[in-house]
Amino acid sequence: MNRDTFGQALRLTLFGESHGPAIGCVVEGLRPGTPLDMDFMAAQLARRRGPRALSTARREADGVELLSGAYQGRCTGTALCLCIRNGDTRSGDYAKSACLLRPGHGDYTGRVKYMGYNDPRGGGHFSGRLTAPIVAAGSIFLFLLREKGVFIGTRLRAVGNIEDTEAFSQEAGAFQGQLQALGEGEIPVLNPGAAAQMEAAIAAVRAEGDSLGGILETQVLGLPPGLGEPFFGTVESQLGALLFALPAVKGVEFGAGFQMASLKGSQANDPFRMEGGRVVTSTNHNGGINGGITNGMPLVLRTAVKPTPSIYKPQETVDICRRENAALCIEGRHDPCIAHRAAVVQDSLIALGLCDLLNQALGLSWQGGALWPEEAPWNMD
Amino acid sequence: MNRDTFGQALRLTLFGESHGPAIGCVVEGLRPGTPLDMDFMAAQLARRRGPRALSTARREADGVELLSGAYQGRCTGTALCLCIRNGDTRSGDYAKSACLLRPGHGDYTGRVKYMGYNDPRGGGHFSGRLTAPIVAAGSIFLFLLREKGVFIGTRLRAVGNIEDTEAFSQEAGAFQGQLQALGEGEIPVLNPGAAAQMEAAIAAVRAEGDSLGGILETQVLGLPPGLGEPFFGTVESQLGALLFALPAVKGVEFGAGFQMASLKGSQANDPFRMEGGRVVTSTNHNGGINGGITNGMPLVLRTAVKPTPSIYKPQETVDICRRENAALCIEGRHDPCIAHRAAVVQDSLIALGLCDLLNQALGLSWQGGALWPEEAPWNMD
Amino acid sequence: MNRDTFGQALRLTLFGESHGPAIGCVVEGLRPGTPLDMDFMAAQLARRRGPRALSTARREADGVELLSGAYQGRCTGTALCLCIRNGDTRSGDYAKSACLLRPGHGDYTGRVKYMGYNDPRGGGHFSGRLTAPIVAAGSIFLFLLREKGVFIGTRLRAVGNIEDTEAFSQEAGAFQGQLQALGEGEIPVLNPGAAAQMEAAIAAVRAEGDSLGGILETQVLGLPPGLGEPFFGTVESQLGALLFALPAVKGVEFGAGFQMASLKGSQANDPFRMEGGRVVTSTNHNGGINGGITNGMPLVLRTAVKPTPSIYKPQETVDICRRENAALCIEGRHDPCIAHRAAVVQDSLIALGLCDLLNQALGLSWQGGALWPEEAPWNMD
Amino acid sequence: MNRDTFGQALRLTLFGESHGPAIGCVVEGLRPGTPLDMDFMAAQLARRRGPRALSTARREADGVELLSGAYQGRCTGTALCLCIRNGDTRSGDYAKSACLLRPGHGDYTGRVKYMGYNDPRGGGHFSGRLTAPIVAAGSIFLFLLREKGVFIGTRLRAVGNIEDTEAFSQEAGAFQGQLQALGEGEIPVLNPGAAAQMEAAIAAVRAEGDSLGGILETQVLGLPPGLGEPFFGTVESQLGALLFALPAVKGVEFGAGFQMASLKGSQANDPFRMEGGRVVTSTNHNGGINGGITNGMPLVLRTAVKPTPSIYKPQETVDICRRENAALCIEGRHDPCIAHRAAVVQDSLIALGLCDLLNQALGLSWQGGALWPEEAPWNMD
């Protein structure tokens, strides 16, 4: 049951290898008539490529071709296939060391799972490059959510030991301003001072031939209460499963997360009160989720992104062809840190997960449609 | 799409309300002929109930009736229905405060999601009591895994600020000894000294009418490499989704987890080497998972369990019937800490997730069967 | 992947064995607040048991216990577990011939699939008795559909060579009158004269120790256009999969069905025209489905039900324990024809399939709910 | 929940529109190392295009590009994306009559379902052209089955009232000879005399501007007993759902099918006997399936294919833009009969369904793999 698919009422199937002909995805469950904003898609893909100075030297144009499911600039409602051709591949870089397992990578486990038949070039299907179609499709999901007043933003909370000390605003207008700024900066932080420090830290590890990890924090404003399920489909399960699909994520927490363990109930509980006719909570240690279901407060989560495993320092490893210990010096083009580039991927995955939950709850009618003929919009005049 | 189901090749569907006639689950995909060890099942349920002194005063016999899928002490291979009758219910305790939303609970979100029709007594479907059928079924999954040499253990790593300072052994025999001890203690810790301190801490918050959270740590030994998927079915996604279904879990991390964010690649990477003809890693910061797939090293994960939201201290809340602010004093019978009781639930959920992955990879043949007639065991003699 | 589950947005999981403690099902995805009409449920179960003179001598009370998901006479929206205890079992009847494979039954294939561990008593999980929980749950789905003006009726079109020569009315009121009559008769036919002939034919084969098959025809009125999918989720696929789950069904056809093969396009096409502001077709050879999707015309389908395989005539078979040829004389209590009893099961399965499609299309909002808080009904006054 | 996906342990997701940039599919769950026989794939696609004289004048090269999941001529085990560019489109033919609903087509239902946003050119996603990727992928499934000794063949049993009077052989060698001949003929029949008659009949309706339907019959030899499920996953349900996805199929029957209704049990039951150490049946009215599960006998099924709805005779219909009655004269390029072209699609769909069932039962190990490291083939020498 080799799975490259996520979602129930909105479904994304991922395909491609880093150095194969193309990467892409098929999306099922999009509202017929959803506008396709190709400029926004391109802008999100540019954010994923990251600033040239801090990222891999591999530069891909990431032109997206819509193979199906689109007509006259809108989604038709049938399966949408997004396809991105691979161009700037230098497979030779990998051929030299095909037998040497890169520590921290999927080389060994991929070889076992796929019995040696997987495409080893550039990590094959295990490449971070596969996040590009997720970002392309994610731009459509983010568009749909914005239409309903739901806004998602992810910032780099920390790189190594350097923290972004500003906080997300819980006020809708101010938050949208922050999102604007995050999209424009080279490093997605709220405090511009942190960006400079982080860039310096990344440049320093790059100079050493080493790499750094980080923490990403996401806030979602505008979600209605009632999304999610009490047990196997909690919002935490849904988003946690998606975020753990992001290569390099080794931890996910919601609200106060691991800090919850050292709080008392009287500190951790978020008291309810009425405000403007709505039920709100005074604090938000639960990150907008009670009993697995959204409560209408800001959804807050954090992920731990490990340092890029591809480093230029010599490493001990195994030559799997000869089945003996060996030394490894990685060549090729790699990022000294991917946490900042992963922010837009995290936004995209969360948008996928939330649109799936909304589709589950509301079906086509959320999407503007109606089944009983007297209500069908095209039937109306 | 109200979902109470988890799994693909092994599937569990949960049903029941805290004060309804019964709770239970249906399990699909069990190997025909799997022995049903009802003593082990009862022992696991006893562990879930926890030590009387530290747990809710509600005492349920938790007798499990096998309604289907069992014959002559073994699984038939058809849907297995486990049913546990509810007995010691005092719904009156809840009726008084049915309109008062308990902070940190699913009262408000359940009311929104189910439009006011959910059973409010004892939290209804949102009750921790629903973990009993998971533990009952989990005892079967744990049995299946042990048969293949896979052992799972969960210990209370911390309660509040008190830590269990011992570590799991990575040696199979010693680890099994630790599991034995964990099953026998009232508090599942490796260092007996920690147990006493934790008990004291829990007793202290109980006296205050307050509650405490904790951190649970799990180790799995004996897994083969090659389990899981590179993207949407990573082992982290599969187990993360299950663990975030555990009420009160607000964080999940694998290997070094959130500490990964402050390491360099040269520190975080786990070097490969040959040992006894097998590929192993010298360190295990990745918790036994590379590229989303098991690498044969110990699987290590931790969850953050929030303090029980039901506390006896007065709290601010909303009267949802009158839609006005109100004060709440919770009555009923509640745990001052559930982290220690959750350990056996965590074992059970992980066993479910791993059996599902093994079934996906190996199908019935892992389960001892064979399809081509010349290989069918009942055809053999 | 042993599966006892059907549906996506409405999901039914079946459990039980003919002579085990209980049979039942779990239903996920029901609208919170759906009324539970236990009298209608009991009446449908009585229809499934059939008239005493023409049916098995096994008489079960079929009392349904709601183990979960119900509160104050309504569905809560969480998993609903329906449980029916088995009572009148005479397993001894089966023990004598446990090694003798009954022709036309699942004895042999069940033994292979379940490696000899399945419960052989009364056919175990392969028993027609498992259709009782489907009918119990189906009564809820039929209720939901009726609320939206959707009516389903199944009649016995033929038994052996005797046909019911009347036709279903396409006019809503007249059709409901026919449904009323079908529910009251011992044999569900439109022409009362046919009933008498069919009863005589069934009595005749019973006297011979033989059995008869039949054809069931279903009409659904009131479906909106737009339900279903163009490829793998056509209405025909959805309902076909369900109907082929009905033990004994060996054929399914929609509209003109197999007669389509000998028509020309100019005869088979259903011309469109406007009528009362709606698009209708002048004929209905396509049975209300174009391109896999409902077109608003009556949905029409037929199933072929094979003669009951349990007959009292001596038959040739294999003794699977000795692996040698043997003679079989079936004892136990069996039906000379099950086609008339299957009519209410067919209604129930179709109701499941259509409610699932409606839930997929419309989500909770069809169910009367609303997610955005300003629209939530409990928030309204 | 717009669905273009089928399968559980082997999964195919279809995408594309008749006149869009490309059509294709993504296949998940293929055995790593499966050879990709591109010549066989091309030959199957040529069979689907059909003989020029009897088919649409639209001629597509149907060149298949493997966008992902393939390396060095074999499947890698990751998602395989097959892509076929559309070339010979003449959308102008359709533009003239875009508002006129074609009777028997999905024009009206597609418009309702997709709220007017679907691509109307050439039927869009509702086109028979979408079967090309199914055939391309099917060639891989057929290859996998042949490797295990499972052979599938479909012949045109009837066109209009002309029957193919020969029968499939149940002897493996002779059946493979028949398959060879079916693949080479222009019309897939067993009796060459029938081919000439059918060609004449099709030519005659073409001359009238009309069309014909037909009946397809499939036999599968070599299946092991034990595949399928007793209820919702019967072999009939699995294959029935797939075959009802084939545009134009309005009926599916297994074994004696609808004739079962007029047989007595003593005629319909297939007696068991021992033969060469195996359990076989003397007759095969059940078409190789008992209790929903294969019994090792030949699997036999038939489908009813309706006449092509696109005919050149004038038809009554509705102008959906003006919402008034109108006359329709279809232009464009259409087939006078598609039943003969559908034979290879039917083979492909059945192969998909059976490989999915085999994967479910046997997992990767059927596919030649092994999970426990001491058994891994690449670990062996």
DSSP single-letter state for residue D133: H
C-beta atoms of C265 and D160 within 8 A? no
> What is the per-residue pLDDT for C376?
39
SS3 D379: helix
The reply to whether residue D359 touches residue B363, judged by beta carbons under 8 angstroms, is yes
Which of C68, C274, C372, C374 best probes binding to A when mutated, by most A CB atoms within 10 angstroms?
A: C372
Tens of pLDDT, residues D29-49:
998 899 999 999 999 999 999
Structure confidence at residue B227 (pLDDT): 92
> Which pairing describes strands A278-281 and D162-163: parallel, antiparallel, or unpaired?
unpaired
Contact of A68 with chain C, judged by CB distance below 8 Å, is answered with no
Chain C neighbors of D262, CB-CB under 8 A: 158, 160-161, 213
Q: Which residue of chain B has the CA closest to A290?
A: B106
Cα of A50 to nearest chain D Cα, Å: 25
For residue B380, pLDDT over 90 is answered with no
pTM of the model: 0.95
Tokens of C227: 């339900």
Interchain proximity D325–C274, CB inside 8 Å = yes
**Is B376 a residue whose pLDDT tops 60?**
no
Return the residue in D19, D25, D67 with the most chain A beta carbons within 10 A, the one to mutate for interface testing.
D67
CB contact under 8 A, D15 and A81: yes
- Residue A225 contacts C where some CB pair is shorter than 8 Å: yes
* A79-118 residues touching D, CB cutoff 8 A: 79-81, 83, 111-118
- Find the radius of gyration of the CA atoms of chain A: 22
3-state secondary structure C184-212: HCCCCCCCHHHHHHHHHHHHHHHHHCCCE
Contact B230 D78 (CB under 8 A): yes
CB contact under 8 A, A28 and D5: yes
d(CA C355, CA C352): 5
CA distance, residue C16 to nearest chain D CA (Å): 12
Residue A227 DSSP class: -
Average pLDDT, chain D: 90
Asked whether the beta carbons of residue D274 and residue C323 sit closer than 8 angstroms, the reply is yes
Quick one: pLDDT at residue A87?
A: 85
Under an 8 A CB cutoff, do B293 and A110 touch? Answer: yes
Encoding tokens for residue B159?
Answer: 């309660």
Q: What is the pLDDT of residue D96?
A: 61
Least confident interval from B360-374, C105-119, D227-241, D289-303: B360-374
Q: Which two tokens stand for residue A280?
A: 């709100």
Kindly tell me the sign of the dihedral angle through the C-alpha atoms of B358, B364, B365, B368. positive
Name chain B contacts of A113, Cβ cutoff 8 Å: 226, 228, 293
Residues of chain D numbered 133-192 and touching chain A (CB < 8 Å): none
Chain A residues inside the 8 Å CB shell of D77: 2, 113-115, 117-118
Residue B195 has pLDDT above 80, yes or no: yes
Mark yes or no for CB contact B358/D373 under 8 Å.
Answer: no
Rounded to 10 degrees, the C-alpha dihedral D154/C241/D134/D53 comes to 50
Residues 6 or more apart from A248 whose CB is under 8 A from it?
A128, A213, A305, A306, A308, A338, A342
C35 touches B at CB < 8 Å: no
Task: Give tens-digit pLDDT for A186-215.
Answer: 899 999 999 999 999 999 999 999 999 999
pLDDT of residue D229: 93
- Chains interfacing with B (3 or more CB pairs < 8 Å): A, C, D
Segment B92-115 shows an average pLDDT of 84
**Burial D262-278, CB ≥16 within 10 A → b, else e:** bbbbbbbbbbbebeeee
Looking at chain A, which subunits does it touch, using at least 3 CB pairs closer than 8 Å as the criterion? Answer: B, C, D
b/e code C352-373 from CB counts within 10 Å (16+ = b) = bbbbbbbbbbbbbbbbebbbbb
Q: Is B358 on the interface with A (CB under 8 A)?
A: no
Spans of chain A, pLDDT less than 50: 364-365, 367-381
What does each C-alpha distance from C1 to A381, C97, C106, D358 come to in angstroms?
50, 30, 19, 10
pLDDT of residue A380: 30
* pLDDT the model gives residue B374: 40
pLDDT of residue D203: 94
The per-residue pLDDT for A335 is: 87
Helix (H) or strand (E) holding D8, with range, is: none
D359/B224 Cβ within 8 A: no
**H or E element, residue C8:** none
pLDDT category of residue D4 using cuts at 50, 70 and 90: very high
Give the pLDDT of residue A227. Answer: 92
Is D78–A23 a contact, with Cβ atoms under 8 angstroms apart? no
Q: Which residues, at least 6 apart from A155, have a Cβ–Cβ distance to it below 8 Å? A: A164, A168, A178, A182, A188, A189, A190, A216, A217, A343
pLDDT of residue B250: 98
B94-108, B152-166, C18-32: least confidently modelled range: B94-108
pLDDT at B31: 85
C82 contacts on B by Cβ (under 8 Å): none
Distance (Å, rounded) from C-alpha A353 to C-alpha A233?
11
According to DSSP H, which parts of chain D are helical? 38-49, 92-95, 107-113, 131-147, 172-184, 192-208, 235-243, 265-268, 339-366
What are the backbone angles phi and psi of residue C290, rounded to the nearest 5°? Answer: -120, 130
pLDDT value of residue C247: 87
Residue A24 forms contact with D (CB below 8 Å): yes
pLDDT at D82: 98
Tens of pLDDT, residues D50-91:
887 666 666 677 799 999 999 999 999 999 999 999 986 666
Q: Positive or negative, the Cα torsion across D188, D190, D195, D197?
A: negative
Which residue numbers in chain C have pLDDT < 50?
2, 364-381
Tell me whether residues D81 and A15 touch, CB distance under 8 A. yes
A vs C: CB pairs below 8 A = 61
pLDDT at residue B116, rounded to an integer: 87
**Nearest-CA distance A234 → chain C (Å):** 14
CA gap B181, B194 in Å, rounded: 14
Which residue on chain D is closest to C290 by alpha carbon?
D106
Taking the Cβ of residue D214 and every Cβ of chain C, the question of whether any pair is shorter than 8 Å is answered with: yes
Give CA–CA dist A227/A218, Å, rounded.
Answer: 18
CA pseudo-torsion sign C239, C242, C246, C250:
positive
